[in-house]
């Protein structure tokens, strides 16, 4: 009888301890300070420095040190069938990123590719080898290509390639 009473009291204490722990955990997850809210009036400049590809595409960076590699180069873009496959550098290919394939540049080289017809440019990173079609200088991801293309159709452009130093 006494043992049953002690067990009952222990069960109640364990249940109370679990309830208190659950309450503390749930209240801490609703803390306002832990949320990552951004004040709409406050603009952060760090995001521009961290993602130079987007910043340059928006025309926000003009102090890049560039070395001209080639004008009037023929650029094309990857087919979607390559999505998810490994590139020559070992990284997974993603057609929604800013990467490119070039025959000679070392992997990791940042290039500024400018459409000579409309002046739009994008910064890409070399992660693959190619293109292996005669007359083509660089393969861009679909996202990078469409960002500098005039229309939504067409598979090649004349571009200027500059190396970012």
Distance between CA atoms of 41 and 43, rounded to whole angstroms?
6
Would 40 be classed as within a structural domain? no
Q: 123 with 148, same domain?
A: yes
Q: 116 with 138, same domain?
A: yes
123, 53 in Cβ contact below 8 A? yes
The highest-confidence range among 9-18, 45-54, 124-133, 148-157, by mean pLDDT, is 124-133
Q: 1 with 56, same domain?
A: no
Return the bridge partners of 86, or none.
Answer: 92
Distance between CA atoms of 30 and 15, rounded to whole angstroms?
23
Q: 20 with 87, same domain?
A: no
Report pTM.
0.61
85 vs 154, residue with greater confidence:
85
Q: Give yes or no for residue 39 having a pLDDT over 50.
A: no
Q: 26 with 97, same domain?
A: no
150, 115 in Cβ contact below 8 A? yes
Q: 144 with 119, same domain?
A: yes
CATH number assigned to the domain comprising residue 123: 2.40.40.10
**Token pair of 69 as six digits:** 């590699």
Q: 71 with 138, same domain?
A: yes
Domain limits for position 26: 1-34
Task: Kindly report the average pLDDT of the chain as a whole number.
Answer: 80
Residue 103: per-residue pLDDT: 94
Distance between CA atoms of 110 and 64, rounded to whole angstroms?
11
Would 42 be classed as within a structural domain? no
Would 129 be classed as within a structural domain? yes
Q: 66 with 145, same domain?
A: yes
How many domains does the chain divide into?
A: 2
């Amino acid at each position: 009888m006494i043992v049953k009473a002690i067990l009952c009291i222990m069960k109640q204490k364990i249940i109370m301890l679990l309830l208190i722990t659950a309450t503390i955990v749930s209240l801490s997850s609703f803390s306002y300070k832990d949320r990552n809210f951004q004040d709409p009036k406050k603009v952060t400049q760090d995001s521009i420095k961290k993602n130079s590809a987007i910043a340059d595409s928006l025309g926000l960076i003009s102090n890049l040190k560039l070395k001209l590699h080639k004008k009037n180069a023929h650029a094309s873009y990857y087919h979607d069938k390559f999505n998810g496959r490994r590139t020559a550098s070992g990284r997974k290919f993603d057609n929604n990123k800013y990467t490119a394939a070039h025959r000679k540049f070392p992997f990791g080289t940042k290039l500024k590719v400018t459409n000579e017809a409309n002046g739009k440019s994008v910064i890409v990173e070399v992660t693959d080898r190619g293109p292996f079609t005669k007359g083509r200088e660089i393969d861009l991801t679909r996202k990078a290509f469409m960002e500098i293309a005039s229309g939504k159709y067409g598979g090649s452009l004349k571009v200027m390639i500059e190396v970012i130093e």
